[in-house]
């Protein structure tokens, strides 16, 4: 039997990895709570109609769908049974008959004598005969007889016979070709219709899907429970999400998202708090010089407006956002491809090399956008953010204005954040922004404004690993292992272990009476720093032989000394 495996893009986590992940999530969680956020949890799978259509065209394709239980088979059965009839109408003998009918019709209907009624009533039968009986001389006679009754002119008849003979040859030669042509055409017809049909089948056989992110479930939660919630409503959520992306380095099909959002207030003080939250968390993780990039959707709109490319906002921002990755030439090329005029690009070119400190940039943008009402509003919002953060100060992070920042997602309406770790070349380790009308996607007319951020757990893990920032004792195995000398000694050991555990000390008992060397090896491999040997002698003396595996030191102690030593 082949060794078992797990699906691509998924991971098992060992205790070591869990300890490190928990180290990160614990710091995030603690600070979420210090900033007044409280957790909620939503189900792993939502109703399909909650998730579908919320993530753009690509999104639906990447959502994992759950097959209905039980009755799924019967429903598909019925669909497939109907499909038989459906497909039959496309691909059956009629198609073949159709082909011949077209060939003969022109000939038959030219004749004035022909009894058209008779013709139409019998043509299919007539052709069936031909198809079914190429090799039988009898059929020729029947055809003749039939044709006689149709009162054909003799010359038409002659021509018909010629056609018939030709047809027979045609069929023998072309028969296979024709059949496969028909099959292929039918397959295309079927495929084209079946895709629509299958989408319908999919929605019949699957009514639930796995979470793709935490934002849509959050919106659903807010609308569903709106009568029970206090607004502004602040929540954090740290749960796995699932995406059918092609797995890559750092990209998984199951990963944990760490989100904090607040809905129900337009106050920019919330943007201030989120910047502080990013700063506090990344400083606590030991990252010095984390860059918190900020932009504003209104500024991007304003720029598109003043350069005369307002209708091309998305294409413009998508291209601009790639400046880091593809450089000025790449960005210009893409903008031209999307038919943004050279003139507009020239006007925007100041952004491609936006120098100076945050204040200089604000001044420059203020000037650039002075004729755009929306752009000016965006500049005011960013000004407030920069002035306030300057007044309050940051710990170890740096706040910077990045006018090229767009972050793909279309729903940001104000501030846009993205966080870059120092030193390690990686994608962002966090991001977020302001959005209006989150709950509108679920029919709520509240038009609630919200703002939220996310931490990229897996990327942060990579950064801490690379920079050696995980604490040394992050994964703590048991403190002490008691060796096993057999029944009587075991009871003695168990009594001591119970007392140690009552004092909060992690203690283990080696379950089998194996060779001492093997038991010590177990302790070493598991990183257990102390071993207690308590054989017959020790039981008699009511003591414990305690060995420190790191220092090699060995002492004999009573129970209280044992507790004291291990508690240090």
By CB under 8 A, what part of segment 419-458 binds a second copy?
442-443
CB of 270 to a second copy, least distance (A): 5
Which of 17/311 has CB closer to a second copy?
17
Among positions 133, 257, 291, 545, the unique one binding a second copy when judged by CB under 8 A: 133
Peptide bond into 232 cis (omega under 30): yes
Among positions 87, 318, 409, 539, the unique one binding a second copy when judged by CB under 8 A: 87
Among positions 120, 134, 173, 269, the unique one binding a second copy when judged by CB under 8 A: 269
201-206 contacts at long range (C-beta below 8 A, 24 or more positions apart):
201/76, 201/79, 202/65, 203/48, 204/75, 204/76, 204/79, 205/67, 205/68, 205/72, 205/75, 205/76, 206/48, 206/65, 206/66, 206/67, 206/68
Rounded Cα distance, 432 and 412, in Å: 8
191 touching a second copy, by CB under 8 A: yes
CB of 459 to a second copy, least distance (A): 19
CA angle 313, 319, 325 (to 5 degrees): 155
Which of 268/303 has CB closer to a second copy?
268
88 touching a second copy, by CB under 8 A: yes
CA atoms within 13 A on the CB side of 85: 5
Contacting a second copy within 213-242 (CB under 8 A): 220-221, 223-225, 228, 230, 232, 234-235, 240, 242
CB of 239 to a second copy, least distance (A): 10
CB 401 within 8 A of CB 295: yes
385: how many CB neighbours lie within 10 A of its CB? 21
504 touching a second copy, by CB under 8 A: yes
Among positions 24, 28, 210, 364, the unique one binding a second copy when judged by CB under 8 A: 210
The separation between CA 269 and the C-alpha centre of its own chain, rounded to angstroms, equals: 31
Contacting a second copy within 140-169 (CB under 8 A): 145, 149
CB of 215 to a second copy, least distance (A): 14
526 touching a second copy, by CB under 8 A: yes
Contacting a second copy within 359-388 (CB under 8 A): 388
CB of 296 to a second copy, least distance (A): 18
Segment interacting with a second copy (CB under 8 A) among 123-131, 158-166, 170-178, 412-420:
123-131
Please name the residues in contact with 264: beta carbons below 8 A apart, sequence gap of 6 or more: 231, 232, 233, 448, 449, 450
CB of 106 to a second copy, least distance (A): 25
For residue 219, give the nearest of 55, 105, 334, 91 by alpha carbon: 55
Rounded Cα distance, 401 and 275, in Å: 13
Residue 251 φ/ψ, nearest 5 degrees: -120, 120
170 touching a second copy, by CB under 8 A: no
478 touching a second copy, by CB under 8 A: yes
Segment interacting with a second copy (CB under 8 A) among 329-337, 397-405, 424-432, 476-484:
476-484
Look at residue 7 and give its three-state secondary structure: coil
Segment interacting with a second copy (CB under 8 A) among 43-51, 460-468, 533-541, 552-560:
43-51
The separation between CA 200 and the C-alpha centre of its own chain, rounded to angstroms, equals: 23
563 touching a second copy, by CB under 8 A: no
DSSP labels, 314-328: HHHHHHHTTHHHHHH
Contacting a second copy within 384-423 (CB under 8 A): 388, 391-392
Contacting a second copy within 23-42 (CB under 8 A): 31, 33-36, 38-42
For residue 282, give the nearest of 542, 460, 18 by alpha carbon: 460
Rounded Cα distance, 568 and 566, in Å: 6
199: how many CB neighbours lie within 10 A of its CB? 10
* Burial class of residue 348 in the structure, from the number of CB atoms within 10 Å of its CB (0-12 exposed, 13-18 middle, 19+ buried): buried
CB of 10 to a second copy, least distance (A): 4
Which of 47/548 has CB closer to a second copy?
47
CB of 540 to a second copy, least distance (A): 18
Segment interacting with a second copy (CB under 8 A) among 97-105, 268-276, 298-306, 555-563:
268-276
Contacting a second copy within 45-84 (CB under 8 A): 45-47, 50, 61-62, 64-67, 69-70, 73, 76-77, 80-81, 83-84
CB of 326 to a second copy, least distance (A): 27
Rounded Cα distance, 338 and 313, in Å: 11
Which of 173/269 has CB closer to a second copy?
269
Contacting a second copy within 91-120 (CB under 8 A): 91
DSSP state of 163: H
* Strands 38-39 vs 233-242: parallel, antiparallel or unpaired: parallel
CB of 300 to a second copy, least distance (A): 25
Rounded Cα distance, 410 and 283, in Å: 30
Which of 235/293 has CB closer to a second copy?
235
């Amino acid at each position: 039997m082949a060794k078992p495996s797990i699906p691509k893009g998924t991971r098992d986590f060992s205790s070591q990895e869990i300890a490190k992940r928990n180290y990160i999530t614990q710091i995030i969680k603690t600070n979420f709570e210090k900033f007044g956020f409280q957790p909620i949890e939503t189900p792993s799978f939502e109703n399909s109609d909650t998730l579908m259509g919320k993530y753009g065209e690509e999104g639906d394709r990447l959502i994992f769908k759950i097959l209905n239980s039980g009755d799924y088979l019967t429903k598909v059965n019925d669909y497939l049974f109907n499909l038989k009839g459906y497909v039959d109408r496309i691909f059956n003998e009629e198609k073949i008959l159709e082909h011949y009918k077209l060939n003969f019709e022109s000939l038959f209907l030219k004749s004035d004598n022909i009894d058209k009624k008779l013709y139409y009533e019998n043509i299919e039968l007539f052709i069936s005969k031909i198809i079914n009986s190429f090799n039988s001389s009898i059929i020729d006679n029947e055809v003749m007889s039939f044709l006689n009754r149709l009162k054909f002119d003799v010359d038409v008849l002659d021509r018909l016979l010629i056609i018939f003979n030709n047809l027979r040859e045609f069929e023998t030669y072309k028969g296979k070709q024709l059949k496969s042509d028909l099959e292929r055409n039918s397959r295309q017809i079927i495929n084209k219709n079946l895709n629509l049909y299958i989408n319908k089948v999919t929605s019949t056989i699957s009514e639930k899907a796995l979470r793709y992110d935490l934002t849509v479930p959050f919106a659903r939660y807010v609308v569903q429970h709106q009568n029970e919630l206090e607004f502004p409503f602040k929540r954090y959520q740290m749960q796995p999400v699932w995406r059918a992306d092609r797995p890559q380095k750092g990209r998984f099909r199951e990963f944990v998202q760490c989100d904090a959002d607040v809905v129900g207030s337009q106050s920019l003080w919330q943007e201030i708090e989120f910047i502080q939250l990013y700063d506090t968390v990344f400083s606590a993780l030991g990252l010095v010089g984390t860059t918190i990039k900020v932009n504003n959707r209104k500024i991007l709109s304003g720029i598109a407006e003043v350069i005369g490319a307002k209708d091309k906002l998305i294409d413009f921002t998508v291209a601009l956002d790639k400046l880091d990755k593809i450089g000025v030439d790449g960005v210009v090329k893409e903008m031209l491809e999307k038919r943004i005029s050279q003139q507009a690009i020239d006007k925007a070119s100041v952004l491609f090399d936006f120098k100076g400190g945050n204040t200089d940039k604000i001044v420059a943008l203020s000037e650039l956008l002075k004729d755009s009402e929306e752009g000016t509003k965006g500049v005011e919002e960013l000004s407030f953010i920069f002035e306030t953060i300057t007044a309050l100060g940051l710990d170890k992070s740096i706040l910077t204005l990045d006018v090229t920042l767009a972050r793909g997602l279309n729903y940001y309406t104000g501030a846009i954040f993205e966080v870059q770790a120092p030193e390690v070349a990686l994608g962002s380790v966090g991001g977020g922004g302001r959005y209006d009308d989150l709950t509108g996607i679920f029919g709520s007319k509240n038009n609630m404004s919200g703002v939220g951020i996310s931490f990229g757990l897996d990327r942060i893990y990579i950064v801490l690993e690379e920079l050696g920032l995980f604490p040394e004792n992050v994964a703590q195995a048991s403190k002490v292992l008691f060796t096993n000398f057999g029944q009587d000694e075991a009871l003695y050991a168990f009594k001591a272990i119970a007392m140690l555990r009552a004092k909060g000390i992690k203690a283990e008992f080696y379950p089998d009476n194996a060779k001492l060397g093997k038991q010590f090896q177990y302790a070493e491999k598991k990183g257990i720093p102390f071993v207690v040997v308590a054989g017959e002698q020790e039981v008699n003396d009511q003591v414990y032989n305690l060995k420190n595996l790191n220092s090699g030191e060995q002492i004999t102690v009573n129970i209280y000394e044992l507790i004291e030593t291990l508690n240090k």
